[in-house]
Amino acid sequence: MSTRTLPMHATPGWRDWLWPGLAAMATYACMYAFRKPFAAAAYEQAAFAGLDYKVWLVMAQTIGYAGSKFVGIGLIARLRPDARQPLLLGIVGGAWLSWLGFALLPAALRWPMLFCNGLLLGLVWGVVFSYLEGRRGTEAMAALLAASLIFSSAMAKAVGKQLLLLGVDPAWMPFACAALYLPLLLLCMRQLARLPPPDIDDHAARTARKPLGRLARRRLLRQFLPGLAPLAIGYVVIAVLREVRDNFEADLLVELGHGGASGLFLWLELPATLAALVSAATLVRLRDHACCLFWLHGLMLAGLAGVLGATLLFSRGALPPLVWIALTGLCLSMAYVPFNCAFFERLIATFRIRGNVGFFAYLLDTVAYFGSCTALFASQWSPAGSGWVQRFATAAQVLPLAGIAGTAIALWFFHHLAAARVPPVSSVDPSLPMEHP
């Protein structure tokens, strides 16, 4: 059997992936209600140490997320199936309590609650995706999970904005928003727990997914570092632009004169959600794993070029502001979401690695979130009087150039490695024998 192509009988029926995919989508969507509602508020307290108060909050959560991804490199890589549900319950409970602390503490002491919130919630994606990976229908299920990466953030901010309009105190709004989502989250987690493990056909098509020991992780990193390092540049650029746009979308809309409507968050993300669903769903039809890897590189390149082009047009007055916001969201999601839910799944399948997606994904996410923190710090030293519109527009004209260059180098590396069809010796581990063609 080829090391890169699915067996002809391996295409799953829609019943095999629809309900698990919907359960994963809803679970991750509910997680955003524990993470993003605070971004809908302005929090116009006085600046501290030269930084806006909201920037401190966003950075605290982002640093927590970065730390979580670092922890997740090892934790998710060696996660056992029987530990998933207890870990998710602990994460959700701790994140909810962090918002209770946020509401009870004075403004100057709230940032540690955001750090704890990010430190916990950064593990959710790895746990949820571990239910879906290594299956013939992984991309179909991941396409639904992909939609939650975009739409759920907008939904959580819209609900948060509506609670503010109803008179809920901004300090209590995140806790109240999470409480509204909690019953649905528990129901969806129960549905995920009932998903049967991958069967023998899944193993034949994608390889069995096993926990990775420290030695295996080091060997994998050493083998793929020449491709992962430049790929990380492209991924960091996409993640930084997406995080800035997502966390400060409310501020962008206020500066553009559209800060009064809660429903605008949803309408602006609708094109991005549909584009992510379509692009991720097309991956199911790509039976050749190596071909799918190159397609994903292409989506990243197209998304970065789209952000650059849309921003250049906006800067010259050729695009209306809301169209610019919607287009940048669409292009970033087109690049970020399919990559996030499928790239490492196909990398493992291409080279028949006996490991899991979590190790690779959390490795790059660690770099991406530390990059986001650096970008937030740098944004505070912008020229006096520059708002978030000018800062985001400047970043969206400069950063994509580096991202395009890094992604192109990574594409060359993985194409060369796949063409050579050399099994990565890094995956050899006495406890994890690698599959051979």
Q: Is the pLDDT of residue 264 over 90?
A: no
Q: Tokens in use for 388?
A: 């978030």
Q: Which domains does the chain possess?
A: 16-427 (1.20.1250.20)
More confident residue, 13 or 287: 287
Strand, helix or coil for residue 5: strand
Of 134, 106, 121, residue with least CA distance to 37:
121
CB atoms within 10 A of CB 257: 9
Residue 320: predicted pLDDT: 93
CA dist 159 and 216 (Å) reads: 44
Q: Is the pLDDT of residue 2 over 60?
A: no
Largest CA distance in the chain: 64
b/e map 378-409, b = 16+ CB within 10 Å: ebeeeeeeeebbebbbbbbbebbeebbebbeb
Q: Tokens in use for 436?
A: 């051979």
CA dist 277 and 291 (Å) reads: 19
Q: What are phi and psi of 355, to 5 degrees?
A: -150, -155
CA dist 144 and 276 (Å) reads: 9
Residue 16: predicted pLDDT: 64
Residue 208: predicted pLDDT: 67
Share of the chain above pLDDT 70, in %: 85
369 close to 232: Cβ distance less than 8 angstroms: no
CA dist 110 and 99 (Å) reads: 9
Strand, helix or coil for residue 30: helix
Q: Is the pLDDT of residue 25 over 80?
A: yes
Over the stretch 288-337, which tens digit does the pLDDT of each residue have?
Answer: 888 888 888 998 999 999 999 999 999 999 999 999 999 998 899 888 87
Straight-line distance from the first to the last Cα atom of the chain, in angstroms, rounded to the nearest whole number: 6
Using CA atoms, how far residue 301 sits from 19, 168, 242, 401, 408, in Å, is: 32, 43, 15, 10, 8
DSSP class per residue in 98-127: HHHHHHHS-GGG-HHHHHHHHHHHTTHHHH
Over the stretch 156-177, which tens digit does the pLDDT of each residue have?
Answer: 888 998 899 899 999 999 999 9
Residue 134, amino acid: G
Place of tokens 């670092």: 70
Please give the distance of CA 294 from its chain centroid, rounded to a whole number: 20
CA dist 162 and 262 (Å) reads: 6
Residue 320, amino acid: P
Please give the distance of CA 193 from its chain centroid, rounded to a whole number: 22
CB atoms within 10 A of CB 195: 16
**424 — pLDDT class (breaks 50, 70, 90):** very low
CA dist 43 and 417 (Å) reads: 50
Q: Tokens in use for 11?
A: 């295409």
- The mean per-residue pLDDT over the stretch 37-62 comes to 77
CA dist 271 and 326 (Å) reads: 7
